[in-house]
């Protein structure tokens, strides 16, 4: 009996320790590192800001593939790290355009991501070119809602399952639902985008049947759509997002779903740390941040740097040439007039001899600081290789187009030859004034409009034209070439706002 009592006492004392040990065994620390919308920014770029101490301008360099790789290595924690990329690695610098994305596959192969989803700009060189590029990738590429109309199969695998420390993680890729408006129709021939929420709802039960513990959506749909998706489906645990270029410094939490995004162009590496309970398939705690990829604070990865240098040698010699000088910063503006937009549309109108010119904000991809302007700058401002086109509209149609633009119903365009002022109320624009080359708009008059071929193929989205833009004439003038020639001719450029767009 004495022996039995001793054994019972030993069990009572050791039981809590045993339970704690079992609990610790079931709790796993995981880390997700992520980035998105890199846009082939393989070399570091300058950030200009104001010093909080002195109020003076200060600048430093961030990003670049070699520095990003070094930061990934620094913040990796052995075999408990999941490395994810949320799309748009293509397009933005000359090397991506020249190699049609192949440069980015080469560099991503050196990053060794666990999963990559497709961004809209991956399709900029066409679906067949993209397939050839993907054939060279040594990492998984997923997207669940890009569907081939002919075969009714997804363009790439819809998801993958990754096991880390015994935790089975299901990762679902998602593309922006409006892909058709984000690229040229020929680039996505015979592809369509299935709805995001219903696509995820169909896949989650399939993942659960495969005993997945944690569900991550790797999305290229933008932070607003990520939030809507989180509200619609609490079975999702985490959304690692892209597309909207949003720097979420502290992860959002909506309907229990953790939402992260790491800005753009490799300025930040996102980090999300989790404590996961395997016994209950639940996240016990989470914390996240964005790590700025400052080049001065780390030694760049030598192998990646060597590859970047080799790639850039193909373009660097010619593109380093200075072609003009800016007296003032060229600054973009997504919701109003910008001085770089004024300059570009003036060039478009002058070259095409049109009455009016429109340039979409999304086609202007870079700010440039006052000082020398190089050929590389011009390539990076307008990387898409769009061409100028012209068409004519009557004054009544033009007025409706401007009302649509002023109300913010489509992506805003910069303008030349036209000035308008509007009061916006309940999503409707009331035009206070509208002039064409200094004269009031005449509803019966026909006006010649210059724009680029991308806008011309999306007349409904940009201007509310239900039947699109008719009578488009090709000029065979590449936008980038025209802007380079104009800058070389002007030599010194001092762009200032002049009140073309006023929205109240």
Q: How far apart are CA 456 and CA 147, in angstroms?
A: 26
User: For the domain 320-503, what is the CATH code?
Assistant: 3.90.780.10
Reported as a single tens digit per residue, the pLDDT across 80-100 is 899 999 999 999 888 998 899
Q: What pLDDT was estimated at residue 439?
A: 95
- pTM of this prediction exceeds 0.85: no
pLDDT band for position 489 (cuts 50, 70, 90):
very high
10 Å CB burial of residue 53 (0-12, 13-18, 19+) is exposed
Q: What pLDDT was estimated at residue 257?
A: 97
Backbone dihedral angles phi then psi of residue 389, each to the nearest 5 degrees: -135, 165
Higher-confidence position of 278 and 116: 116
Sorted by where each begins, the domain ranges of the chain are 27-312, 320-503
Q: How far apart are CA 45 and CA 473, in angstroms?
A: 38
Q: In degrees to the nearest 10, what's the CA dihedral of 432, 435, 438, 440?
A: -90
Q: How far apart are CA 159 and CA 142, in angstroms?
A: 6
Q: In whole numbers, what is the pLDDT of the chain averaged over residues?
A: 92
| 3-state SS string for 197-208 | HHHHHHHHHHHH
Q: How far apart are CA 441 and CA 433, in angstroms?
A: 9
Q: What pLDDT was estimated at residue 58?
A: 84
Q: Which of 23-32, 165-174, 344-353, 467-476 has the lowest mean pLDDT?
A: 23-32
Q: What pLDDT was estimated at residue 338?
A: 97
Reported as a single tens digit per residue, the pLDDT across 275-305 is 999 888 899 999 999 999 999 999 999 999 9
Q: How far apart are CA 412 and CA 462, in angstroms?
A: 8
Counting every residue, how long is the chain?
A: 504
Reported as a single tens digit per residue, the pLDDT across 1-46 is 444 444 444 433 343 333 334 445 689 999 999 999 999 999 999 9
Buried b (16+ CB within 10 A) or exposed e, 203-219: bbeebeeeebbbbbbbb
Q: What pLDDT was estimated at residue 6?
A: 46
Q: How far apart are CA 295 and CA 110, in angstroms?
A: 19
- Please identify, in words, the CATH class of the domain defined by 27-312: alpha beta
């Amino acid at each position: 009996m004495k022996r039995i009592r001793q054994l019972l006492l030993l069990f009572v004392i050791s039981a809590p320790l045993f339970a704690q040990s079992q609990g610790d065994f079931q709790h796993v620390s995981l880390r997700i590192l992520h980035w998105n919308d890199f846009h082939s920014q393989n070399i570091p770029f300058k950030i200009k800001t104001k010093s909080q101490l002195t109020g003076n301008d200060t600048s430093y360099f961030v990003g670049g593939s070699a520095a990003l790789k070094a930061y990934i290595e620094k913040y990796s924690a052995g075999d408990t790290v999941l490395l994810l990329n949320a799309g748009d690695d293509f397009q933005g610098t000359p090397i991506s355009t020249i190699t049609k994305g192949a440069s980015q596959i080469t560099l991503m192969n050196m990053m060794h991501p666990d999963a990559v989803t497709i961004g809209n700009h991956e399709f900029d060189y066409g679906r067949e070119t993209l397939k050839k590029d993907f054939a060279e990738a040594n990492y998984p590429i997923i997207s669940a809602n890009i569907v081939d109309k002919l075969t009714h199969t997804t363009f790439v695998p819809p998801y993958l399952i990754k096991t880390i420390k015994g935790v089975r993680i299901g990762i679902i890729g998602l593309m922006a639902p409006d892909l058709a408006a984000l690229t040229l129709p020929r680039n996505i021939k015979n592809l369509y985008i299935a709805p995001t929420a219903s696509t995820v709802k169909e896949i989650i039960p399939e993942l659960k049947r495969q005993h997945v513990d944690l569900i991550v959506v790797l999305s290229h749909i933008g932070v607003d759509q990520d939030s809507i998706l989180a509200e619609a489906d609490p079975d999702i645990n985490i959304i690692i997002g892209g597309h909207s270029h949003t720097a979420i410094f502290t992860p959002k939490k909506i309907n229990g779903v953790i939402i992260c995004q790491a800005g753009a162009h490799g300025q930040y590496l996102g980090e999300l740390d989790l404590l996961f309970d395997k016994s209950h398939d639940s996240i016990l705690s989470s914390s996240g941040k964005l790590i700025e990829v400052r080049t001065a604070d780390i030694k760049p990865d030598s192998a990646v740097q060597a590859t970047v240098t080799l790639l850039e040698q193909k373009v660097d010699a010619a593109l380093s040439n200075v072609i003009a000088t800016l007296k003032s910063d060229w600054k973009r503006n997504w919701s109003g007039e910008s001085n770089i937009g004024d300059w570009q549309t003036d060039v478009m109108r002058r070259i095409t001899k049109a009455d009016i010119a429109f340039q979409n904000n999304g086609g202007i991809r870079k700010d440039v600081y006052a000082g020398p302007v190089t050929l590389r700058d011009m390539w990076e401002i307008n990387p898409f290789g769009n061409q100028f086109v012209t068409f004519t509209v009557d004054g009544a149609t033009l007025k409706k187009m401007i009302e649509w633009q002023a109300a913010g119903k489509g992506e805003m365009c910069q303008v030349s030859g036209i000035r308008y002022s509007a009061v916006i109320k309940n999503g409707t624009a009331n035009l206070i004034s509208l002039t064409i080359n200094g004269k009031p708009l005449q509803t019966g008059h026909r006006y010649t409009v210059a724009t680029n071929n991308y806008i011309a193929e999306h007349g409904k989205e940009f201007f509310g034209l239900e039947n699109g833009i008719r009578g488009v004439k090709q000029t065979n003038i590449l936008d980038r070439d025209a802007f380079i020639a104009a800058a070389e001719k002007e030599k010194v450029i001092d762009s200032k706002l002049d009140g073309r767009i006023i929205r109240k």
